[in-house]
Structure formats: C-alpha cells, structure tokens
C-alpha cells in the first residue's frame, strides 16, 4: 500500500475523467441491473425442476443478495414467476431456499414475506390433495414455513436462526409467567410442525436401500439440515422454559405441558438417531444425541444436568452436488470485473487499453509520462492481484479459523457441560452418600434399639416365667409350711394335753397322798393297835409311794422333756413364722408385681377392646353408610330411569303431536323406508324387553336399559313420522289405517314409558302391545310397496349395457367438443386469453381421457364380475338377481355421462367469456364424485385380487389427478385474467369515505347472509338428493337386510 500511495503522489491529477464518469448515476443503474440479473440466475439455478439437492453456492448467493438489498423484494419478484403450483419438485426446492433465507437472510426477509402468507396457505392446501410423490411433503413444508413466519411475527425478539442466550430468552418472556406459558405453547406448535416434516420425509423414503447416496434421496433429505438446526434450539428453549414454569406454577397445572414434551422428546430422539446413521448427514452436519431419559421437571436441580444440544457444521462440509466454495472476497473482484466490462461496453475496448488516447494526440510517440502511467497501471494491477491473493488467503484462513474456533467452542461448551455434570453428579452422589450414611446410622440405631427392646422383652418374659415359677414354689412352700405348722400345732396341743394329764395325775396323787396321810394319821390315832399292820401297809404304801414318786419323777422328766421339746417347737415355730413373714413379704411383692402386670394386661385388653369396639362401630357405620349409599344409588338409578323414560315419552308425544301438525302434511315418504324403520324399531323393542327383564331381576343393571329406552323413543318416533309421511302418498283407505295404527302405536309407547316412571308399575310394564302395533304397521307397509318397476328385471342387463355405452359415447362427444372449442380458441383468441383457454381446455381434455379409461376399466371389471358370479345362468338373469347392484351401476353411469356433458357446457361458456371459473371447478369436482360412485358400485362384487380391479383403481387415481389439474389450471387462469380494481381514496373527503365504509359494511352483511342461506340450501339439497337416491337404489332396504 505504501508503494501505491508513493506512486500516486507522483501524478498530480490521476485519472479525473474516468473517476467522474464512474461516479455518475448510470453506473448505479447498471450495478442494480447486474445485481438483479445475477440474483435471477442464482434463484433459477437453485429452484429448478431437477430432482437433485439445492447447490450450496446458489443458496448462499441468494442469502448474500438479501443482505445486499436489505430485503427479499428481488427474491419474491423472481419466485412469483415460477410455476410452483404445477411442479412439486420445484415447490419443494423453493421451500428449502425460502427456509434458508428465513434463517440466514436479512432480518427484513420476514417483513417482505408476510404479505405472501395466504398464498403459501392456499398452495399448501392444494398440494395436500396429492397423496403420492412430493405432494404431501410440499403441503407439510409450506405449513411449517407459515408457522415459522407466524412465530417470529408474534415474537420479534427471536432471530431467524433462533440463536439466543439465556438472558435474551428471559427478556423475550419479560419475566412474566403468563408470557412464558404462552411462549412454551407456541414453541410446542412450532416443534410439532418440524417433527411432522421430519417424519413425513423419512416415511416417504425406502430405508431398505441406500437412499442417501442417490440424487432423489438427497433432494428430500437436504432441507432436514435446517430442520435439525431449528429443532435443537427449540428443544433447548423448551426445557429451560418448562423449568421456569415449574418453579412458578403447580405441577398439576403443567401436566399437559409435560405430556406433550415427553411425546415430542421421544419423536425427536428417534429422528436424531435415525438421521445420524445416514451417510448423507455424516459429512455435512454433526447431529447431537439427546439424553437417554427426559429431564425431570419436578426436581429443580435437574436443570444443572441439562446439556444444550449443539449442532456442529464442519467448515469443509458441502453438498455432494455443490461446487467448490469461493471466498467472499471474489464478490468484490466479480463486481469490479463486471464494472470494467460495462465500462468497455460504453466506451469501447480500445478506450480501456488507451483510456486517454495518448497515442493519437498530435501523432506523437509515448513520452516519459506515458511510460510512467503504464508503469503505474502495471504496478496497480500487480498490487491489486497481490492484494486479492492476500485477501483470498486471509479469508480462507479466517473461514478455517472460524470453523476451528466454532469446533473448539463447541468442544469447550461440551467439556464445560460434562465438567458441570460431573460436579453435579459428584455433589449429588456425595449428598446421597451422606444421606445413606445417615440412613445407615439410623438403621443401626433402630436395629440396636430393636435388639435392646427384644432383649428386654425376652428378659421380662424370662423374669416373668421365673417369677411365675418362684411364685408357684413359694405357694407350694407356703402350703407345706402351713401343713407343718398345723402338724406342729397339733403336736403342741397333744403335748399340752399330756402335760395337763400329768399335772392332773400329780395333783390327784398329791390329793390321794394327803388323804392317805390323813387316813394314816387318823388310823394311827384311832388304831394304835394296828400299827404294825399299818407300818407294813405304810411300808407297802411307801414302796408304792416310791414307785409313784419314781413314776412322778419320770413323768416330771417327761414333762421337762416335753417342755424342752415344746420350746424347741416354739422356736422352730418362731423361725417358721419369720420365714413365713419373709415369704409373705416376697409374696406380697410378687403379688404387687403380678397385680401390676395384670393391670397392664387388663389396660391393654381394655384399650384393645375399646379399639375393637371403635372398629366395630366404624364397621357398623360404614355398613349403614353403604346401605344408605345403596339406597341412594337405587333411588338415583330409578330417578335416572324416570328422567330417561320421561324424555322418551316427551319425544314420542312430540312425534304424535307432529302427526296433527299442518306443516307435516307436505312431507312424503316411501313404503321401503317405512319398512326399514319398522324393522329397526321391532329389533329395538326386543332388546328393550330383554333389558327390562334383566333390570327386574337386578335393579343395578339399569345401564343396559337406559340406552335401549333412548333408542326405542327415537326409532318409534321416526317410525311414526315415516308412517305419517307414507300415508300422505298412499290411497285413502290404507292411509287412514296406517295413520290410525301409528297413533295407536304412539299411545301404547307412551303408556309403556309412563308405567316405567311409576315405582309400583315397573314390574307390570309390558311393551308387547307396541310390538303388535309395529307388526301391523309393517303389514300395511308391505301392502303399500310398489309391485313393479319402470323397467322389468329381465331388461336390466340390456339397460346396463346401454347406459355404459351411452356414457362412453357422451365422454367421446365431450372430448370432441373440447377439441373443437380448443381449435376455435386458437383461431380467435390471442395473448393471455389464449393461454388461459388452452390451459383450461387441455386439462379438461386430460380429464375426459382419464374418465374414458375409467369407464373402459369399469366395463371390463363388470364383465369379469358377471362371468365369475352368474354360474350357469345368463348375464340377464345375473343382473335380474342382483337388481339393486344393477340399478346402482345404471345410476352411476348416468351421473358420469351427465357430469361430462355439463362440464363441457361450462367450459364452453368460460371460453366464450359468459361463464365463471367457479362453475367449471364445481363441474369437475362433481364429475370426479360421479366417477367415484361408479368405481364404488363396480368394485362392490369384485374380487379383491382381480387385475381389472387394480386397473380400475389406477384409473380412479388418474381421474383424481386430472380433476386436481383442472382445478389448478382454472385457479391459475382466474388469477391471471382477473383485473384488480385499484382503490384510490386520495380525492375523497371524510364524509365520502365514511359513506363508502358504511356501504361496504352493508354489502358485507348482505353477502354473509346470502352465503349462509346458500349453504343451508345446499345442505337441504344434498339431504334431499341422498333421500331420493336411497329410495331409488334401495339403500335403506339393504341396510335393513
């Protein structure tokens, strides 16, 4: 650059004329024209009818064009001239390019595209009629683009590529929970459209073959890259918003959000997995994998475990069909070369080689100044080339560095997420470990306390058993001691009695000794003479006394021994008494403890008894409540039965009232329809009788009775009205009998329903009288049935052949008329009118050819049905045997021939300018419906594996496609011919504008009223057509059979 500046300083006035010319306005116009030409070429190359993927360089040129002009006017001006409604592949590639512009183009692309939203919706509905090829794909993709435009219009903070930070996401919701709630719902709808396109593309591909390496497969898979980019951001934002909502709202309120998220999570995870296995995506995009389990929104800490899915597009990634990517610097070079070429076109090529015409001035040779200028030009060209090389290398290096930086950022983000996840997991595991430790300690404490309680219980039980044994032993010892005490007391008593006897004997001996002494003294005094005798007696007495003294001494010794023994016994008694007292104290303690145990046991028994009584009371209360509820349920069931019977009675009475209504006199009906209604009512009465019997046996079985009552009232009312309508077209005598029987049937039905409402009459209610009346009505209907048809059954076969031949002839005539009209239009019309007429008549010719093929296929299938089903009978006998089917074929054939004639007339009027395009569209749809009726009537008795049936179905699909072509060409012609009146209100005053506004409102109300009336009229006409067609072809009779 220093060399350039130093060289330029040597020239005092460098190239002033050239610069002044380039600064003119013509250069800007030329630049604008070249820009539009380049954009048109790139758009046409990107959006073409070839079934290959859109080349990346053409799409990038379109994106740079939107940034250059700060909008999408040029894009839409070019796209509006493309036949998007006529070629599905062209429309598919348009959707792909438009999706790229909405994501990566200028922000004004959305504003410039909103005005075309309705056209995209119409095109989506149009392509939705085609179920094969790209039809459904285009329809769903257009719905997705419309949803994307509506989402960004409602939420302008979201850029087209959906890349936002968490702070920007919070600002988008304005920190309002209501805004976050609505934003989540809109994101769900947006993501649902993305997933629908994803699934539809995959379902349209044959995954058993390597479709991703074929041009057609890549054409369908290429737009999914944009879908994957959108889905990754939408999934991330949805998870974050749901965590925010769960932190502010109850979990039950967000149950619907969680269910919808789980469904979309499973779909998105499956689609990401299937996409990552395709070879086409492996070189173009790095698809993230979603976690194994969805986030748990009920746990706030789970937000830290969420990893935002990052989609990485390698810097060297390119489509297989794309050309090498050139640097952005080449745009400047291209524009400079384009400007130089334009300069050569204006001033000539010689001027570029000799811009100042120095060679021709004064006929002089080049001087030093010329050489200096040439040298400067050479240096400038070399410097430009070197500068361009530097720019190209720097741009390539910058692109590579940016790609590497994006990869490193993605890896860094992923590592950060992994690190954060590992930290969170470690903290979570640490918390769980601490919690487990606490639980283990609590469990050990509980185990120890349980062991201690069990040990104490065992010890108490052992202590109780020991105490019981000790108590038994003490009782036994006490009994033994009492026995011993009784024996000792008895022995003491015996000893005391013996001692008393000894003392008594001693006293007696003392008394006797004293008496003897006194006697001896008296004798000695009185009888001195007998002293010797007395001495001898005295000696004897002394001997005897000695013996007695010895005896007394021995007795005294025995008494002393007895006293000693008694003292020992008393001591033993005292010790036994003390031991008994001690045992008594122990017994008292044991009795106290035993009493305490008995009190505890009695208290527990009392509490258990009280609890048992309480439970028994609750059980009795529950049983009584259940009885009350059962009675209430029975009452409510009977009330429900009464209400249903009351409503059914009201319905039947309404039907009886309508029999006398003058407005009902104009209603007419057929005997076949009456018989079908009567048969249905009779079957309903049988079911009602069974349900009534079940209800009488089990009052809880009211559920089977209520539907039968409602159906009974409906069918009986329908039978009464149909009988009245049939009587209006019947002879007088049968009509009177039929009307009288209908009234009697209604009265019996009302009586039966009234009996069901009375609790005392429910068991006696009988519907046999209603059944009898229905049988009589059926008999009268049989009398009123027509006994003959306009055409004899033997002639049905000839009539079928005639009608099919007439239909084929009518179609050929219609095709000839269309060819004639096309020749007249080419001879008399020019310009847009000729183009519109040729397109409409050409589509009508294609429709007639498709109908002709369908009629031929129907005749072949009909012939096959007759040959396979008639057996040994003749075709006429087969047609006569299957008269209803034959009449359906005749009706369908007539409808096809009539529809072809009416459509040709409508096309003739449209070509002449006297008809409307809507009439032609309605005629084409009507003839498509008639052919569908013919197909349905033809394949009723056909074998499902028949080859002719397959041909007929293919011909039917051809008719549907031709009908869609007629509708599309008519719409295109209508939009091309119609001239929109320009609305210029600049010269009108405020009063005039107000007046025009009121007139417009009045006109709108009138048109809406007319539209409503016409729709009602159309509904009534279709209803009447269905009734007449059913009566004529015996549909109701077939349904009754």
The 10s digit of each residue's pLDDT in 43-74 is 998 898 888 888 888 889 999 999 988 998 88
More confident position, 682 or 926:
682
pLDDT class for 549, splitting at 50, 70, 90? low
What value does the mean pLDDT take over residues 420-444?
A: 76
Q: What is the pLDDT of residues 799-851, one digit of tens each?
A: 666 777 777 777 777 777 777 777 777 766 666 667 777 777 777 788 778 77
pLDDT for position 944: 72
* Helices 768-784 + 671-697 axis angle, to 10: 170
pLDDT for position 193: 92
pTM across the whole model: 0.35
Average pLDDT, the chain: 75
Chain centre distance of CA 114: 31
Distance of CA 227 to CAs 138, 193, 332, 583, Å? Answer: 14, 10, 32, 99
In this model, does residue 318 exceed pLDDT 70?
Answer: no
Geometric angle at alpha carbon 338, from 332 and 343, rounded to 5° = 125
From the list 198, 310, 191, 164, the residue with the least C-alpha distance to 262 is: 191
pLDDT class for 341, splitting at 50, 70, 90? very low
pLDDT class for 366, splitting at 50, 70, 90? very low
Collapse the DSSP code of 286 into the 3-class scheme (helix H, G, I; strand E, B; otherwise coil) and give the result. strand
**Residue that is written with structure tokens 């939009």 in the block:** 975
pLDDT class for 619, splitting at 50, 70, 90? confident
pLDDT for position 705: 79
pLDDT for position 146: 92
Collapse the DSSP code of 312 into the 3-class scheme (helix H, G, I; strand E, B; otherwise coil) and give the result. strand
Q: What is the pLDDT of residues 501-527, one digit of tens each?
A: 767 766 776 676 667 667 656 755 665
More confident position, 472 or 182:
182
Residues of the chain above pLDDT 70, percent: 74
What value does the mean pLDDT take over residues 310-321?
A: 58
In this model, does residue 732 exceed pLDDT 90?
Answer: no
pLDDT for position 334: 41
Burial tier of 130 (Cβ tally within 10 Å: 0-12, 13-18, 19+):
middle
In this model, does residue 184 exceed pLDDT 60?
Answer: yes
From the list 813, 963, 789, 834, the residue with the least C-alpha distance to 901 is: 813
pLDDT for position 91: 92
Distance of CA 541 to CAs 382, 509, 514, 527, 648, Å? Answer: 191, 13, 13, 17, 143
Residues of the chain above pLDDT 90, percent: 4
In this model, does residue 95 exceed pLDDT 90?
Answer: yes
Q: Which of 228-232, 722-726, 752-756, 1016-1020 has the highest mean pLDDT?
A: 228-232
Least confident among 380-384, 659-663, 709-713, 1004-1008: 659-663
pLDDT for position 27: 67
């Amino acid at each position: 650059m220093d060399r350039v500046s130093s060289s330029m300083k040597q020239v005092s006035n460098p190239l002033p004329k050239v610069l002044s010319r380039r600064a003119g306005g013509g250069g800007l116009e030329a630049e604008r024209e070249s820009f539009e030409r380049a954009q048109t070429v790139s758009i046409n190359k990107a959006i073409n009818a070839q079934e290959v993927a859109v080349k990346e360089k053409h799409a990038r040129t379109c994106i740079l064009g939107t940034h250059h002009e700060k909008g999408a006017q040029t894009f839409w001006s070019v796209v509006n001239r493309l036949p998007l409604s006529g070629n599905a592949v062209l429309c598919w590639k348009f959707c792909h390019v438009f999706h790229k512009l909405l994501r990566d183009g200028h922000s004004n692309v959305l504003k410039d595209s909103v005005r075309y939203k309705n056209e995209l919706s119409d095109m989506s509905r149009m392509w939705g009629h085609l179920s094969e090829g790209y039809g459904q794909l285009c329809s769903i993709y257009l719905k997705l683009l419309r949803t994307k435009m509506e989402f960004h219009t409602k939420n302008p903070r979201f850029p087209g590529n959906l890349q936002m930070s968490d702070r920007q996401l919070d600002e988008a919701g304005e920190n309002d929970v209501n805004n976050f709630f609505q934003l989540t719902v809109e994101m769900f709808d947006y993501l649902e459209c993305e997933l629908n396109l994803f699934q539809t593309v995959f379902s349209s591909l044959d995954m058993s073959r390597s479709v991703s390496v074929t041009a057609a497969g890549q054409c369908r898979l290429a737009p999914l890259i944009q879908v994957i980019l959108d889905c990754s951001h939408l999934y991330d934002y949805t998870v974050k918003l749901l965590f925010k909502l769960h932190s502010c709202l109850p979990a039950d309120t967000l149950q619907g959000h969680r269910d919808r998220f789980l469904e979309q999570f499973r779909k998105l995870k499956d689609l990401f997995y299937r996409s990552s296995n395709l070879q086409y995506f492996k070189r173009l995009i790095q698809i993230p994998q979603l976690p194994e389990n969805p986030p748990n929104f009920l746990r706030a800490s789970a937000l830290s475990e969420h990893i935002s899915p990052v989609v990485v597009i390698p810097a060297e990634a390119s489509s297989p069909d794309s050309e090498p990517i050139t640097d952005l610097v080449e745009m400047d070079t291209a524009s400079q070369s384009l400007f130089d070429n334009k300069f050569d076109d204006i001033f000539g090529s010689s001027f570029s080689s000799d811009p100042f015409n120095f060679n021709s001035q004064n006929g002089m040779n080049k001087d030093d100044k010329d050489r200096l200028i040439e040298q400067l030009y050479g240096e400038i060209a070399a410097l430009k080339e070197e500068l361009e090389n530097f720019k190209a290398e720097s741009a390539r290096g910058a692109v590579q560095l940016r790609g590497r930086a994006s990869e490193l950022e993605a890896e860094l983000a992923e590592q950060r997420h992994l690190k954060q996840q590992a930290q969170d997991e470690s903290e979570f595991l640490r918390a769980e470990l601490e919690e487990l430790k606490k639980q283990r300690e609590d469990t050990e404490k509980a185990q120890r306390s349980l062991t201690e309680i069990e040990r104490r219980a065992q010890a108490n039980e052992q202590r109780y058993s020991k105490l019981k044994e000790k108590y038994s032993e003490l009782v036994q010892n006490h009994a033994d001691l009492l026995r011993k005490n009784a024996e000792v007391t008895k022995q003491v008593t015996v000893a005391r009695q013996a001692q008393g006897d000894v003392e008594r004997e001693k006293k007696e001996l003392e008394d006797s000794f004293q008496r003897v002494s006194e006697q001896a003294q008296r004798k000695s005094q009185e009888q001195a003479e007998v002293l010797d005798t007395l001495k001898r007696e005295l000696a004897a007495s002394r001997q005897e006394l000695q013996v007695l003294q010895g005896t007394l001494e021995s007795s005294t010794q025995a008494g002393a021994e007895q006293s000693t023994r008694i003292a020992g016994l008393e001591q033993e008694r005292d010790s036994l008494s003390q031991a008994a007292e001690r045992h008594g104290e122990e017994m008292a303690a044991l009795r106290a403890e035993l009493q305490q145990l008995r009190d505890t046991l009695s208290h527990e028994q009392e509490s258990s008894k009280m609890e048992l009584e309480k439970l028994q009371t609750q059980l009795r209360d529950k049983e009584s409540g259940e009885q009350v509820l059962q009675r209430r349920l029975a009452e409510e069931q009977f009330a429900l039965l009464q209400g249903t019977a009351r409503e059914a009675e009201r319905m039947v009475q309404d039907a009886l009232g309508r029999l006398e209504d003058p407005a009902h006199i104009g209603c007419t009906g057929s005997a076949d329809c009456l018989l079908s209604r009567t048969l249905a009512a009779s079957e309903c009465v049988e079911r009602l009788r069974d349900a009534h019997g079940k209800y009488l046996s089990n009052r809880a079985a009211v559920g089977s009775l209520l539907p039968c009552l409602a159906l009974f009232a409906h069918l009986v009312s329908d039978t009464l009205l149909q009988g009245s309508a049939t009587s209006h077209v019947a002879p007088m005598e049968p009509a009177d009998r039929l009307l009288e029987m209908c009234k009697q049937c209604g009265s019996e039905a009302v009586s039966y329903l009234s009996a069901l409402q009375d609790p005392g009459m429910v068991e006696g209610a009988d519907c046999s009288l209603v059944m009898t009346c229905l049988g009589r009505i059926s008999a009268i209907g049989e009398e009123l049935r027509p006994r003959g048809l306009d055409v004899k059954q033997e002639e049905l076969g000839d009539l079928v052949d005639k009608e099919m031949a007439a239909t084929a002839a009518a179609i050929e005539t219609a095709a000839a008329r269309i060819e004639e009209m096309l020749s007249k239009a080419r001879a008399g019309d020019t310009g847009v009118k000729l183009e519109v007429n040729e397109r409409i008549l050409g589509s009508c010719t294609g429709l007639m050819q498709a109908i002709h093929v369908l009629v031929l296929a129907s005749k072949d299938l009909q012939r096959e049905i007759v040959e396979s089903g008639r057996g040994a009978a003749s075709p006429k006998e087969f047609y006569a045997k299957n008269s209803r089917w034959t009449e359906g074929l005749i009706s369908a054939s007539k409808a096809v021939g009539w529809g072809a004639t009416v459509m040709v007339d409508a096309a003739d009027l449209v070509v002449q300018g006297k008809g409307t395009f809507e009439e032609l569209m309605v005629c084409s749809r009507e003839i498509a419906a008639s052919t569908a009726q013919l197909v349905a009537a033809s394949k009723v008795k056909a074998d499902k594996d028949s080859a002719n049936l397959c041909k007929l179905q293919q011909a039917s699909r051809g008719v549907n496609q031709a009908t869609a072509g007629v509708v599309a060409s008519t719409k295109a012609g209508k939009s091309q011919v119609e001239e929109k009146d320009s609305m210029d209100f600049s010269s009108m005053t405020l009063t005039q504008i107000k007046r025009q506004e009121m007139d417009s409102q009045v006109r709108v109300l009138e048109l809406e009223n007319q539209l409503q009336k016409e729709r009602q009229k159309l509904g009534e006409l279709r209803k009447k057509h269905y009734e007449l067609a059913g009566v004529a072809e015996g549909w109701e009779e077939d349904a009754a059979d």
